[in-house]
Amino acid sequence: MENTRTLEMLDAPGVYGIPPTSTQTSVSARAQEDLSGLRASQACIACRRQKRKCDKQLPSCALCLRMSRPCDYSDSTPTPNADDFALLRQKVAELESRLEAKNTPWGRTSTIAGVSYQHNVNPPPPIASGFPTMLLLDSEVFRESRMDMTKPAVEIPQKIHNTLGSIIDMRDVVERYFENIHLWLPIVSKKRLSIMLEQPNLDLTADLALLLLCMKLITRGDHESPEDAQSPLYWLSKRYASTVEFNGLITLPLMQSMLLITAYEIGHAIQPAAYLSSAHCARLGTLMGSCTQTNRGNSSVEETEMQNIAIPGMRDVAVKVLELSKLIRELLEKKPGAVSPLIADCIYSATSIFQWQAYELGLEQDFSAYNILREILRDMSSRWAVAGEYLKILDVMKTVLYEEHSKL
Protein backbone atom coordinates (compact mmCIF):
# COMPACT_ATOMS: atom_id res chain seq x y z
CA MET A 1 0.00 0.00 0.00
CA GLU A 2 2.83 2.40 0.91
CA ASN A 3 4.71 1.57 -2.34
CA THR A 4 1.61 2.35 -4.39
CA ARG A 5 1.18 5.73 -2.64
CA THR A 6 4.86 6.56 -3.23
CA LEU A 7 4.56 5.79 -6.96
CA GLU A 8 1.46 7.98 -7.19
CA MET A 9 3.39 10.85 -5.60
CA LEU A 10 6.30 10.41 -8.02
CA ASP A 11 3.93 10.49 -11.00
CA ALA A 12 2.16 13.61 -9.71
CA PRO A 13 2.45 16.74 -11.88
CA GLY A 14 5.20 19.11 -10.81
CA VAL A 15 7.36 16.37 -9.31
CA TYR A 16 10.70 15.36 -10.95
CA GLY A 17 10.25 17.63 -13.94
CA ILE A 18 6.68 16.65 -14.90
CA PRO A 19 5.03 20.05 -15.58
CA PRO A 20 1.59 20.69 -14.03
CA THR A 21 -1.32 21.29 -16.35
CA SER A 22 -3.05 24.69 -16.54
CA THR A 23 -6.08 23.24 -14.74
CA GLN A 24 -3.91 22.07 -11.87
CA THR A 25 -2.15 25.46 -11.66
CA SER A 26 -5.45 27.32 -11.36
CA VAL A 27 -6.61 24.89 -8.67
CA SER A 28 -3.37 25.55 -6.70
CA ALA A 29 -3.84 29.32 -6.98
CA ARG A 30 -7.43 29.05 -5.75
CA ALA A 31 -6.23 26.91 -2.83
CA GLN A 32 -3.71 29.59 -1.83
CA GLU A 33 -6.43 32.25 -1.97
CA ASP A 34 -8.60 30.07 0.28
CA LEU A 35 -5.72 29.77 2.79
CA SER A 36 -4.93 33.50 2.82
CA GLY A 37 -7.35 34.24 5.66
CA LEU A 38 -6.27 31.32 7.84
CA ARG A 39 -3.55 31.21 10.52
CA ALA A 40 -1.30 28.37 11.57
CA SER A 41 -1.46 27.00 15.09
CA GLN A 42 2.24 27.66 15.70
CA ALA A 43 5.13 29.72 14.37
CA CYS A 44 7.09 28.49 11.39
CA ILE A 45 10.44 26.74 11.80
CA ALA A 46 12.45 29.74 10.52
CA CYS A 47 10.85 32.19 12.98
CA ARG A 48 11.20 29.73 15.85
CA ARG A 49 14.88 29.25 15.09
CA GLN A 50 15.56 33.01 14.94
CA LYS A 51 13.35 33.80 17.96
CA ARG A 52 11.32 36.17 15.78
CA LYS A 53 7.63 37.00 16.01
CA CYS A 54 5.68 35.05 13.38
CA ASP A 55 2.27 36.25 12.10
CA LYS A 56 1.39 32.57 11.29
CA GLN A 57 -0.28 33.51 8.01
CA LEU A 58 -0.96 30.72 5.53
CA PRO A 59 0.47 29.55 3.28
CA SER A 60 3.52 31.70 4.16
CA CYS A 61 4.24 34.20 6.95
CA ALA A 62 5.15 37.78 6.14
CA LEU A 63 8.77 37.40 7.22
CA CYS A 64 9.38 34.39 5.01
CA LEU A 65 7.70 36.15 2.06
CA ARG A 66 9.95 39.18 2.57
CA MET A 67 13.04 36.97 2.82
CA SER A 68 11.94 34.88 -0.20
CA ARG A 69 12.42 31.62 1.64
CA PRO A 70 10.25 28.54 2.16
CA CYS A 71 7.84 28.74 5.08
CA ASP A 72 7.49 25.46 6.96
CA TYR A 73 4.83 25.02 9.67
CA SER A 74 5.61 21.40 10.40
CA ASP A 75 5.88 20.14 13.98
CA SER A 76 9.48 18.99 13.58
CA THR A 77 11.91 20.68 15.96
CA PRO A 78 14.84 22.40 14.20
CA THR A 79 18.33 21.19 14.99
CA PRO A 80 19.85 23.55 17.60
CA ASN A 81 22.90 25.53 16.55
CA ALA A 82 25.65 27.33 18.50
CA ASP A 83 23.46 30.41 19.05
CA ASP A 84 20.71 28.26 20.53
CA PHE A 85 23.13 26.70 23.01
CA ALA A 86 24.55 30.11 23.99
CA LEU A 87 21.04 31.47 24.58
CA LEU A 88 20.16 28.40 26.66
CA ARG A 89 23.26 28.83 28.83
CA GLN A 90 22.37 32.49 29.38
CA LYS A 91 18.83 31.63 30.46
CA VAL A 92 20.10 28.94 32.85
CA ALA A 93 22.49 31.45 34.42
CA GLU A 94 19.67 33.98 34.85
CA LEU A 95 17.42 31.36 36.47
CA GLU A 96 20.19 30.35 38.88
CA SER A 97 20.73 34.00 39.84
CA ARG A 98 17.02 34.48 40.46
CA LEU A 99 16.92 31.38 42.64
CA GLU A 100 19.87 32.66 44.63
CA ALA A 101 18.11 36.02 44.98
CA LYS A 102 15.21 34.14 46.60
CA ASN A 103 17.52 32.68 49.24
CA THR A 104 17.44 34.51 52.56
CA PRO A 105 19.42 33.90 55.77
CA TRP A 106 16.27 32.16 57.08
CA GLY A 107 15.83 29.73 54.19
CA ARG A 108 14.52 29.59 50.63
CA THR A 109 11.56 31.86 49.85
CA SER A 110 8.75 31.16 47.40
CA THR A 111 6.27 33.76 46.22
CA ILE A 112 2.69 32.74 45.47
CA ALA A 113 0.08 35.34 44.58
CA GLY A 114 2.32 38.09 45.93
CA VAL A 115 2.79 36.39 49.33
CA SER A 116 6.20 35.06 50.38
CA TYR A 117 6.57 31.67 52.01
CA GLN A 118 9.75 30.28 53.53
CA HIS A 119 10.97 26.71 53.40
CA ASN A 120 13.52 24.96 55.58
CA VAL A 121 13.40 27.80 58.06
CA ASN A 122 16.57 27.80 60.15
CA PRO A 123 17.11 31.13 61.96
CA PRO A 124 20.74 32.30 61.75
CA PRO A 125 22.81 32.54 64.92
CA PRO A 126 22.85 35.97 66.57
CA ILE A 127 25.51 38.30 65.21
CA ALA A 128 27.68 39.99 67.83
CA SER A 129 27.91 43.44 66.24
CA GLY A 130 30.82 45.59 67.33
CA PHE A 131 28.76 48.75 67.00
CA PRO A 132 28.47 50.64 70.33
CA THR A 133 24.81 51.18 71.18
CA MET A 134 25.75 54.07 73.47
CA LEU A 135 26.82 56.16 70.48
CA LEU A 136 23.21 56.49 69.37
CA LEU A 137 21.50 56.49 72.75
CA ASP A 138 23.76 59.19 74.25
CA SER A 139 26.63 60.33 72.02
CA GLU A 140 27.89 62.86 74.59
CA VAL A 141 28.48 60.19 77.23
CA PHE A 142 30.12 58.06 74.54
CA ARG A 143 32.62 60.85 73.81
CA GLU A 144 33.22 61.62 77.49
CA SER A 145 34.00 57.97 78.21
CA ARG A 146 36.44 57.95 75.26
CA MET A 147 35.22 54.63 73.95
CA ASP A 148 36.53 53.32 70.63
CA MET A 149 34.55 51.93 67.72
CA THR A 150 36.10 48.59 66.86
CA LYS A 151 35.98 47.70 63.18
CA PRO A 152 34.27 44.29 62.91
CA ALA A 153 35.60 41.62 60.56
CA VAL A 154 32.93 40.88 57.95
CA GLU A 155 33.32 37.88 55.69
CA ILE A 156 33.39 38.39 51.92
CA PRO A 157 31.31 35.59 50.30
CA GLN A 158 32.82 33.66 47.42
CA LYS A 159 30.07 34.96 45.13
CA ILE A 160 31.33 38.52 45.72
CA HIS A 161 34.86 37.45 44.84
CA ASN A 162 33.61 35.74 41.67
CA THR A 163 31.60 38.80 40.63
CA LEU A 164 34.50 41.21 41.16
CA GLY A 165 36.94 38.95 39.34
CA SER A 166 40.69 39.48 39.28
CA ILE A 167 42.58 42.64 40.20
CA ILE A 168 42.68 43.49 36.48
CA ASP A 169 38.88 43.31 36.33
CA MET A 170 38.61 45.55 39.41
CA ARG A 171 40.93 48.15 37.89
CA ASP A 172 38.90 48.09 34.68
CA VAL A 173 35.70 48.77 36.64
CA VAL A 174 37.36 51.64 38.52
CA GLU A 175 38.68 53.12 35.28
CA ARG A 176 35.22 53.05 33.64
CA TYR A 177 33.69 54.53 36.79
CA PHE A 178 36.00 57.55 36.87
CA GLU A 179 35.61 58.09 33.12
CA ASN A 180 31.82 58.30 33.39
CA ILE A 181 30.04 58.29 36.76
CA HIS A 182 32.65 60.34 38.61
CA LEU A 183 32.02 63.28 36.27
CA TRP A 184 28.56 63.88 37.77
CA LEU A 185 28.88 62.15 41.15
CA PRO A 186 32.39 62.86 42.54
CA ILE A 187 32.13 61.08 45.90
CA VAL A 188 35.10 58.69 45.68
CA SER A 189 38.77 59.72 45.85
CA LYS A 190 40.40 58.56 42.63
CA LYS A 191 43.92 58.92 43.99
CA ARG A 192 43.26 57.02 47.21
CA LEU A 193 41.44 54.16 45.49
CA SER A 194 44.10 53.88 42.78
CA ILE A 195 46.84 53.64 45.41
CA MET A 196 44.96 50.86 47.19
CA LEU A 197 44.47 48.86 43.99
CA GLU A 198 48.14 49.27 43.01
CA GLN A 199 49.35 47.46 46.12
CA PRO A 200 50.98 44.09 45.30
CA ASN A 201 49.07 42.28 48.04
CA LEU A 202 45.63 43.89 48.09
CA ASP A 203 43.86 43.59 51.44
CA LEU A 204 40.27 43.43 50.20
CA THR A 205 38.06 44.37 53.16
CA ALA A 206 34.30 43.93 53.15
CA ASP A 207 33.50 47.64 52.75
CA LEU A 208 36.00 48.02 49.90
CA ALA A 209 34.57 44.94 48.16
CA LEU A 210 31.10 46.44 48.51
CA LEU A 211 32.26 49.75 47.01
CA LEU A 212 33.83 47.99 44.00
CA LEU A 213 30.66 45.93 43.57
CA CYS A 214 28.48 49.07 43.54
CA MET A 215 30.86 50.81 41.12
CA LYS A 216 30.46 47.85 38.79
CA LEU A 217 26.69 48.05 39.19
CA ILE A 218 26.32 51.73 38.32
CA THR A 219 28.62 51.50 35.29
CA ARG A 220 26.24 48.99 33.72
CA GLY A 221 23.89 50.79 31.34
CA ASP A 222 22.39 48.05 29.14
CA HIS A 223 18.89 48.12 30.64
CA GLU A 224 15.72 48.86 28.68
CA SER A 225 13.26 49.08 31.59
CA PRO A 226 13.16 49.30 35.41
CA GLU A 227 12.46 45.56 35.48
CA ASP A 228 15.65 44.83 33.50
CA ALA A 229 17.63 47.09 35.84
CA GLN A 230 16.69 44.87 38.78
CA SER A 231 19.38 42.45 37.72
CA PRO A 232 21.10 39.78 39.84
CA LEU A 233 24.01 42.21 40.29
CA TYR A 234 21.62 44.83 41.69
CA TRP A 235 20.12 42.43 44.23
CA LEU A 236 23.56 41.10 45.15
CA SER A 237 24.74 44.65 45.88
CA LYS A 238 21.67 45.45 47.96
CA ARG A 239 21.93 42.26 50.02
CA TYR A 240 25.64 42.61 50.70
CA ALA A 241 25.23 46.29 51.67
CA SER A 242 22.64 45.19 54.23
CA THR A 243 25.00 42.50 55.53
CA VAL A 244 27.89 44.95 55.96
CA GLU A 245 25.65 47.48 57.68
CA PHE A 246 24.00 44.88 59.92
CA ASN A 247 27.42 43.77 61.17
CA GLY A 248 28.15 47.31 62.33
CA LEU A 249 30.79 48.16 59.72
CA ILE A 250 29.82 51.84 59.47
CA THR A 251 32.56 53.36 57.31
CA LEU A 252 32.98 55.87 54.50
CA PRO A 253 33.05 53.14 51.79
CA LEU A 254 29.67 51.91 53.07
CA MET A 255 28.26 55.44 52.75
CA GLN A 256 29.69 55.77 49.24
CA SER A 257 28.25 52.39 48.27
CA MET A 258 24.78 53.31 49.51
CA LEU A 259 24.92 56.57 47.52
CA LEU A 260 25.84 54.65 44.36
CA ILE A 261 22.98 52.19 44.88
CA THR A 262 20.59 55.12 45.39
CA ALA A 263 21.85 56.87 42.25
CA TYR A 264 21.38 53.63 40.31
CA GLU A 265 17.80 53.28 41.57
CA ILE A 266 17.00 56.90 40.75
CA GLY A 267 18.50 56.62 37.28
CA HIS A 268 16.57 53.46 36.43
CA ALA A 269 13.31 54.57 38.10
CA ILE A 270 13.29 51.73 40.61
CA GLN A 271 10.60 53.02 42.95
CA PRO A 272 9.85 53.19 45.83
CA ALA A 273 13.33 51.75 46.51
CA ALA A 274 15.04 54.96 45.31
CA TYR A 275 12.85 57.10 47.58
CA LEU A 276 13.54 54.94 50.63
CA SER A 277 17.26 54.56 49.87
CA SER A 278 17.64 58.36 49.73
CA ALA A 279 16.25 58.65 53.25
CA HIS A 280 18.48 55.78 54.36
CA CYS A 281 21.57 57.62 53.09
CA ALA A 282 20.52 60.72 55.03
CA ARG A 283 20.22 58.70 58.25
CA LEU A 284 23.55 57.00 57.59
CA GLY A 285 25.18 60.41 57.12
CA THR A 286 23.70 61.58 60.42
CA LEU A 287 25.03 58.46 62.11
CA MET A 288 28.54 58.97 60.74
CA GLY A 289 28.52 62.58 61.95
CA SER A 290 27.20 61.79 65.41
CA CYS A 291 30.68 61.98 66.92
CA THR A 292 31.02 65.69 66.20
CA GLN A 293 31.33 68.04 69.15
CA THR A 294 28.12 69.47 70.62
CA ASN A 295 27.52 72.88 72.10
CA ARG A 296 28.27 72.59 75.85
CA GLY A 297 27.40 76.21 76.59
CA ASN A 298 30.88 77.39 77.60
CA SER A 299 31.94 79.34 74.53
CA SER A 300 30.23 82.69 74.96
CA VAL A 301 28.10 84.81 77.30
CA GLU A 302 25.02 84.21 75.12
CA GLU A 303 25.42 80.44 75.30
CA THR A 304 25.83 80.54 79.08
CA GLU A 305 22.69 82.65 79.38
CA MET A 306 20.71 80.17 77.26
CA GLN A 307 21.98 77.35 79.45
CA ASN A 308 20.74 79.12 82.59
CA ILE A 309 17.29 79.41 80.99
CA ALA A 310 17.24 75.79 79.88
CA ILE A 311 18.23 74.17 83.20
CA PRO A 312 14.99 75.04 85.09
CA GLY A 313 12.94 73.89 82.11
CA MET A 314 14.81 70.58 82.03
CA ARG A 315 14.06 70.04 85.72
CA ASP A 316 10.35 70.79 85.21
CA VAL A 317 10.19 68.18 82.44
CA ALA A 318 12.02 65.64 84.63
CA VAL A 319 9.51 66.20 87.45
CA LYS A 320 6.60 65.56 85.05
CA VAL A 321 8.25 62.31 83.94
CA LEU A 322 8.64 61.32 87.60
CA GLU A 323 4.90 61.82 88.11
CA LEU A 324 4.18 59.78 84.98
CA SER A 325 6.45 56.98 86.23
CA LYS A 326 3.86 56.03 88.90
CA LEU A 327 1.40 55.09 86.17
CA ILE A 328 4.13 53.30 84.23
CA ARG A 329 5.04 51.21 87.28
CA GLU A 330 1.41 50.15 87.75
CA LEU A 331 1.16 49.17 84.09
CA LEU A 332 4.42 47.21 84.29
CA GLU A 333 3.04 45.21 87.21
CA LYS A 334 -0.30 44.47 85.54
CA LYS A 335 0.52 44.26 81.83
CA PRO A 336 4.23 44.69 80.98
CA GLY A 337 3.71 43.98 77.28
CA ALA A 338 1.53 47.10 76.98
CA VAL A 339 4.42 49.42 77.91
CA SER A 340 5.99 50.97 74.82
CA PRO A 341 9.80 50.76 74.45
CA LEU A 342 9.71 54.30 73.04
CA ILE A 343 9.25 55.78 76.52
CA ALA A 344 12.61 54.36 77.66
CA ASP A 345 14.42 57.34 76.15
CA CYS A 346 12.12 59.74 78.00
CA ILE A 347 12.68 57.99 81.34
CA TYR A 348 16.44 57.85 80.75
CA SER A 349 16.61 61.59 79.99
CA ALA A 350 14.76 62.43 83.21
CA THR A 351 16.96 60.00 85.18
CA SER A 352 20.16 61.60 83.85
CA ILE A 353 18.81 65.06 84.77
CA PHE A 354 18.15 63.99 88.35
CA GLN A 355 21.55 62.28 88.42
CA TRP A 356 23.26 65.51 87.39
CA GLN A 357 21.17 67.62 89.83
CA ALA A 358 21.98 65.26 92.69
CA TYR A 359 25.68 65.53 91.89
CA GLU A 360 25.61 69.34 91.61
CA LEU A 361 23.20 70.22 94.48
CA GLY A 362 23.27 67.13 96.69
CA LEU A 363 19.52 67.29 97.45
CA GLU A 364 17.97 64.12 98.85
CA GLN A 365 14.85 64.49 96.71
CA ASP A 366 16.99 64.33 93.58
CA PHE A 367 18.67 61.12 94.80
CA SER A 368 15.24 59.64 95.52
CA ALA A 369 13.87 60.59 92.08
CA TYR A 370 17.01 59.18 90.43
CA ASN A 371 16.62 55.81 92.16
CA ILE A 372 12.88 55.60 91.41
CA LEU A 373 13.43 56.12 87.69
CA ARG A 374 16.33 53.66 87.65
CA GLU A 375 14.00 51.02 89.08
CA ILE A 376 11.50 51.76 86.29
CA LEU A 377 14.21 51.16 83.68
CA ARG A 378 15.28 47.96 85.45
CA ASP A 379 11.70 46.65 85.41
CA MET A 380 11.34 47.56 81.74
CA SER A 381 14.59 45.79 80.85
CA SER A 382 12.96 42.41 81.46
CA ARG A 383 10.68 43.16 78.49
CA TRP A 384 12.70 45.60 76.33
CA ALA A 385 16.50 45.34 75.98
CA VAL A 386 16.87 49.06 75.20
CA ALA A 387 16.01 49.89 78.83
CA GLY A 388 18.97 47.76 79.93
CA GLU A 389 21.22 49.65 77.53
CA TYR A 390 20.17 52.92 79.14
CA LEU A 391 21.02 51.49 82.57
CA LYS A 392 24.52 50.70 81.28
CA ILE A 393 24.92 54.32 80.17
CA LEU A 394 23.88 55.56 83.62
CA ASP A 395 26.54 53.29 85.16
CA VAL A 396 29.16 54.68 82.77
CA MET A 397 28.14 58.23 83.68
CA LYS A 398 28.49 57.36 87.38
CA THR A 399 31.98 56.01 86.76
CA VAL A 400 33.26 58.66 84.34
CA LEU A 401 31.44 61.86 85.34
CA TYR A 402 30.34 61.35 88.95
CA GLU A 403 32.97 59.01 90.36
CA GLU A 404 33.40 61.12 93.50
CA HIS A 405 29.77 60.65 94.60
CA SER A 406 28.93 57.49 96.51
CA LYS A 407 25.12 57.73 96.40
CA LEU A 408 24.86 57.67 92.60
Range name among 29-38, 157-166, 228-237 with the lowest pLDDT average: 29-38
> Is residue 334 a part of any domain in this protein?
yes
% of the chain at pLDDT higher than 70: 70
Instruction: Judge if 221 and 333 occupy the same domain.
Output: no
> Is residue 229 a part of any domain in this protein?
yes
> Is residue 196 a part of any domain in this protein?
yes
Peptide bond between residue 59 and the one before it cis (omega within 30 degrees of 0): yes
Instruction: Judge if 156 and 249 occupy the same domain.
Output: yes
Instruction: Judge if 176 and 267 occupy the same domain.
Output: yes
Average pLDDT over residues 324-328: 91
Instruction: Judge if 261 and 361 occupy the same domain.
Output: no
What is the rounded distance in angstroms from the CA atom of residue 13 to the CA atom of residue 3?
18
Burial of 278 (0-12, 13-18, 19+ CB in 10 A): middle
Q: Give the global pTM.
A: 0.53
Of residues 164 and 1, more confidently modeled: 164
Average pLDDT over residues 11-32: 46
**What does R_g of the chain's alpha carbons equal in angstroms?**
36
Instruction: Judge if 284 and 325 occupy the same domain.
Output: no
Instruction: Judge if 268 and 337 occupy the same domain.
Output: no
Average pLDDT over residues 10-15: 43
**Residue 325 reports pLDDT greater than 70:** yes
Instruction: Judge if 35 and 156 occupy the same domain.
Output: no
pLDDT digits (tens, 9 = 90+) for 351-408: 999 998 888 888 899 999 999 999 999 999 888 888 888 999 898 888 877 765 556 5
Instruction: Judge if 104 and 212 occupy the same domain.
Output: no
CB 287 within 8 A of CB 293: no
The confidence score (pLDDT) of residue 127 equals 52
Average pLDDT over residues 338-350: 90
Q: Tell me which residue range forms the domain holding 91.
A: 82-119
Helix (H) or strand (E) holding 270: none
**Residue 311 reports pLDDT greater than 50:** yes
> Is residue 296 a part of any domain in this protein?
no
pLDDT digits (tens, 9 = 90+) for 111-148: 333 334 444 445 445 555 566 777 777 767 777 766 66
Model confidence at 3, pLDDT cuts 50, 70, 90, reads: very low
Query: Domain total for the chain?
Result: 4
